[in-house]
Homo-oligomer: A and B are copies of this chain.
Amino acid sequence: MPQRPPAEPGMPEDEVDTPALILDLDAFEANLDAMAAFLAPTGAKLRAHAKTHKSPVIALQQMRRGAVGQCVQKVTEAEALAWGGVPDILVSNEVVSPRKLARLLALSGISRVALCADSEAGVALAEQAAAAAGQRLRLLVEIDVGAGRCGVPPGPEAVALAQRIAASPHLIFGGLQAYHGSAQHQRTPEQRAATIAGAVEHTRRTVEQLRQQGLSCEIVGGAGTGTFPHEATSGVFTEIQAGSYAFMDADYAANQDAPPFRHALFVLTQVMSTPRDGLVVVDAGHKAAPTDSGFPKVWQRPGLRYAGASDEHGNILVEGGTAPKLGETLRLVPGHCDPTVDRFDWYVGTRKGRVECLWPVAARGGMQ
């Protein structure tokens, strides 16, 4: 059963039921505008990653500003977007379950869908599923440009897999998926620039080798919030897959020379106990603000440090400034926006301290 909305339009933010997922609309819209303005002169298009926001409402706002579509990681996310009116969806990931492939293909009547593969077996499974559905499915080759996770090596192996796709009657070769995940949080701009220079070079070489075999890449996709200026201006990447830029989080903000996006996403929490001087306990623990990328930060309250999370409790040390009172609400900047969004059923959109709108996190829990 979905959770009830924690707020109503018009309500002051500090009356919202806690913990709640707050989207500061002024900051959010400024972030969407800033990315659109940055990409416009580069020629690269945005295909924002919906693994971050899980919302067709947000996807369509990105597309109104020029995004060509959306990325997802999971078929369930593709369904939520397609059912919410998103017309162009790339699963930037491998799917090898026949049932999931059939579900993805079932969306093609309402949305243009594409998928990635990194093995001959994966290509064969996609071909079988597309044949069974009587369709042709666009398939990209994922190449490992240094992240060491999924993907075939760039170069001849990628070309061979692309040829296999192109030779499959129910598949269309769609291009390359070339995302370097671990580069996104390298802390210095020099590290990120050097890593992505290597990724770009691997990708450029593979695109050229494909061209020599008569295979053109409709999509050359990759990049995230930490590195997108490099891919976007490379002349190689056609699509940028950043997602977190819309919200920002504490981990991206910790990058030196972080991209100039504003914190737009917060977990609103309430002080539920003030057991002794120097400590307040809030009602958001790691179930509300996952700690895989570190603890959340307390927003605009110098001297308050979130220093310990249990399931339903957060310990905030009062190291300066004014101690918050029992019942007071605080905004937390999540350590990592993606899993945090996925904990909630509702965005509470606020502007200047008042609730303006409620949007469902439509693909919340969509892991399949």
Contact = CB atoms under 8 A, between A and B. Distances in A.
Contact of A94 (B94, B273, B338): B273
A251 interface: no
A344 B365 contact: yes
A107 to B, nearest CB: 15
B368 A17 contact: yes
A264 B94 CA distance: 29
A93 B275 contact: no
Interface stretch (A128-136, A168-176, A195-203, A288-296): A288-296
The main secondary structure of chain A at its interface with chain B is loop
Interface string A78-102: 0010000000000001111101100
Given A93-B312, A292-B291, A327-B96, A3 B365 contact: yes
A2 B3 contact: no
Given A96-B326, A272-B95, A290-B286, A368 B3 contact: yes
A93 B273 CA distance: 10
B367 A19 contact: yes
A281 B149 contact: yes
Number of copies of this chain that the complex holds: 2
Interface in A247-294: 270-275, 281, 283-284, 286-288, 290-292
Interface string A337-364: 0110011110000000000000010101
Most chain B beta carbons < 10 A, residue from A118, A181, A360, A368: A368
Contacts of A270: 96-97
Interface in A217-270: 270
Most chain B beta carbons < 10 A, residue from A181, A311, A344, A367: A367
A20 B99 CA distance: 14
24 contacts: A1-B80, A1-B362, A3-B368, A18-B368, A19-B367, A51-B311, A74-B312, A93-B272, A94-B272, A95-B272, A97-B270, A118-B273, A118-B275, A119-B326, A121-B327, A122-B326, A125-B327, A144-B275, A149-B313, A150-B272, A150-B273, A150-B275, A290-B290, A343-B367
